[in-house]
A and B are shown apart, each in its own frame.
Chain A
Amino acid sequence: MRIDLSILIPYAGFLAQGALLTAEVCVLAIVGSVILGMLVAIARTSQLSWVRWLAFAYVDLFRNIPFLVQLFFFYYGLPEIGMYIDAFTTGVVALSISGGAYASDAIRAGILAIDNGIIEAAEVSGLPRRVIFSRIVLPIALRTSVRPLGSVLINMILTSSILSTITLNELTGNARIVASETFRPFEIYVVLLVVYAALTYLVSLGITVLHRRLNRDLQEQVS
């Protein structure tokens, strides 16, 4: 009945390796989901109704199906159609696709929040539609949605623990190995809870700083 954390010291490096893999997966997946989210957000604000519907169906489907089921669908399903990819790639792809659904909502809200006057001004200046979108609408939408995208990233860090079920040895996967080697599951999982909480807290701090910095020209209006 005594918590003895000293038994975990020899495994600190091993756990740090797992944390590094978690970070790698999350960074790749957040890049993937922002790109995917951007495309889907564009589709959702499109003027063609079938494009809008298709994008909505994607978001609705991937938000309402458990990530575990999506992950197994890809992990067991892809080899069936001849695509042999490892657990790491599968994990990144699955996280990107499910994160993309959430990211697209954040970016879409950013697009919808843009003042019509800005777009009208760009049109009056004679900019083509494509340039208006890529140089004016998207940059503004992306920077105002930094904070919601940050919560997508935080959720992704937590969700990435599920990747341990497809044999990817990230932080949780390595912790499982340590737990079965030391027979001290309580200590290791308590430490893991604190580590994850600290990790997400640090990420949220970083996002707040980034959000402030990117939107610093708007700060004066607010305060």
Chain B
Amino acid sequence: MRYTDFTPFDLVLLAQGLGVTIGLFLATTLIGLVIGAVWGIVRFYRVPGLTQLITFVSEILKNSPVLVQLFLVFFGFPAFFHINVTPVTAAIITLSANTAAFVYVIAVSAIESIGRDQIEAARVFGLRRWQVLRHVITPQAAAFSIGPLTALLVNQLQVTSLISVIGVMDLAKIGANLNLRTLQPFVVWTVVGILYYLAAKLVAMLGTRLEKRLRAHSAFRGL
């Protein structure tokens, strides 16, 4: 007796997989945003040594496959540091670091997009460096970077599918399991693909909405 038919429970499995994917995506995005922004601020303060190190690390992370980074953390860290790394931990470490590397680049270009004259004017008014950062740079940099960030996050959502390779039960892994059981690859992968597509569209939509709101003050109002 073989259970090759689809059952209603498969829907629950798919929903679980989608939940794991979105949960890990949100968590790693949040961590990545914070780390990337901190790296950007370190660069803004021109900390000697640290800035070069961060640039180097971010270049390596950007220019190597996420799959290899994932293997390094999941297989390499336990062997080298003699620590226990679960698939979920490895996924969170890798995806956060990867997101941070890209966020760093966006943060740097966002900070550089603000004219030096604005910063000088703010300094002349007697604002401290962190006040300049807080009141002059951050609001404008946030509005500037929301577009590239949305594109990045749509991409990162797809990158999360790679964690299925090291055994995290995300949407892609559920798809692989269903595929093995039902032997109907077209149906299974189409459904999984549609779910990823919808999730990506949702991220893109939220990004556009946020961008509109952040840019509201600088939008052309008409004469």
Cα distance A190–B77 in the bound complex, in angstroms:
11
Please name all residues of chain B whose beta carbon is closer than 8 Å to the beta carbon of A154 when the two chains form the complex: 63
Which one, A64, A68, A175, A188, contacts B197 given CB within 8 A? A64
A84 CB to nearest chain B CB (Å)? 14
Residue of A nearest to B161 (CB): A66
Type the 1/0 row for A165-186, where 1 means its CB is closer than 8 Å to any CB of B: 1000000100110010001111
Any chain B CB within 8 A of the CB of A140? no
What separation, in Å, do the CA atoms of A163 and B216 have in the docked complex?
A: 44
Q: How far is the CA of A190 from the CA of B60 in the complex (A)?
A: 10
Find out whether the CB atom of B63 lies under 8 angstroms from the CB atom of A201.
yes
Asked whether, in the complex, the Cβ of B162 is within 8 Å of the Cβ of A68, the reply is: yes
Q: Is the interface of B mostly helix, strand, loop or mixed?
A: helix
A192 and B185 contact, CB distance less than 8 A: no
Closest to A70 in B: B193
Which residue of A69, A80, A158 has the most chain B CB atoms within 10 A of its CB atom? A69
Is A1's CB within 8 Å of the partner chain B?
A: yes
B76 within 8 A of A: yes
Partner of B63, one of A65, A184, A197: A197
Contact A190:B186 (CB < 8 A) given known A64-B154, A69-B192: no
Chain B residues whose C-beta falls within 8 Å of the C-beta of A172 in the assembled complex = 65, 67-68, 71
10 additional A-B residue pairs with CB within 8 Å, beyond A194-B64, A201-B63: A65-B200, A66-B159, A69-B196, A162-B65, A162-B67, A172-B67, A192-B64, A193-B72, A196-B68, A197-B63
Where the two chains meet, the residues of B that have a C-beta atom closer than 8 Å to any C-beta of A are 59-60, 63-69, 71-72, 75-77, 79-81, 154, 158-162, 164-165, 172, 175-176, 179, 184-186, 189-190, 192-193, 196-197, 200-201
